[in-house]
Amino acid sequence: MKSCCIVVAGGNGSRMNSTIPKQFMQIEGVPILMHTLQRIHKFDPTLELILVLPASEIELWNTLCKKHVGLIPHRLVEGGENRFESVKNGLKHTDGFELIGIHDGVRPLVSDETLRNCFEVAAIHGTAIPVLPAHESVRKGSLSHSTPVNRSDYFLVQTPQVFKSEIIHKGYLQQWRAEFTDDASVVEQIGVEVQMVYGNRENIKITYPEDLLIAETFLKVVRS
């Protein structure tokens, strides 16, 4: 099936204690976002990449592209006011694709197996999202009052989340609402059941300074 992957990169550096948007921070001298594009392209060079960036960051990205030779081919799209609107903008450029993946730009360590599972399962069931079982104790409530819950009932959700074209396009015809925390929650709102597959533990979303150190370590292990 003809497939593409929308890579959404609209974060800032606030939780990284940095004035540089986190997707442009570097691992081994290369911006995180470039590592992400390279990872997906290495998995499948025929997979078309659609990169969605805030308008204010496009000039910086173009400068980085000139600096780093051999950049992976991709289509650049201007993002919206939030992630929902950014994905919606990316979807405008997906005519002719049967499977559409949506991936966080700051998840540079998604594995071939996770990518393969997501696209293969979505081709059969229409949807696929990578998850990991919760491996620590889980509680529900607030700091002052909480109760334990059965951790076997909970999963940690990753990306890419992959959908048949008609499903994800229909989902994004809706208006944004607060409960849309990811693309799976968008399509579930139109009555579509989401299929889960196992992700990989290295596929972390780089959000805090320590995540950058963890990603650097993982990257060295992957390359060894």
Structural domain harbouring 42: 3-223
- Rg value, the chain, Cα: 17
Cβ within 8 Å of residue 187, ≥6 positions away? 127, 163, 167, 168, 170, 171, 194
> What pLDDT sits at residue 16?
63
- Each residue of 76-94: pLDDT tens digit? 999 999 999 999 999 999 9
Element (H, E) at 216: helix 209-223
> What pLDDT sits at residue 218?
84
> What pLDDT sits at residue 10?
79
**Number of domain units in the chain:** 1
User: What residues in the chain have per-residue pLDDT under 50?
Assistant: none
Element (H, E) at 114: helix 112-125
CATH of the domain at 104: 3.90.550.10
- Each residue of 117-147: pLDDT tens digit? 999 999 999 999 999 999 999 999 999 999 9
Does the pTM exceed 0.75?
Answer: yes
> What pLDDT sits at residue 126?
98
Q: Is 214 exposed, middle or buried (0-12, 13-18, 19+ CB in 10 A)?
A: middle
> What pLDDT sits at residue 83?
95
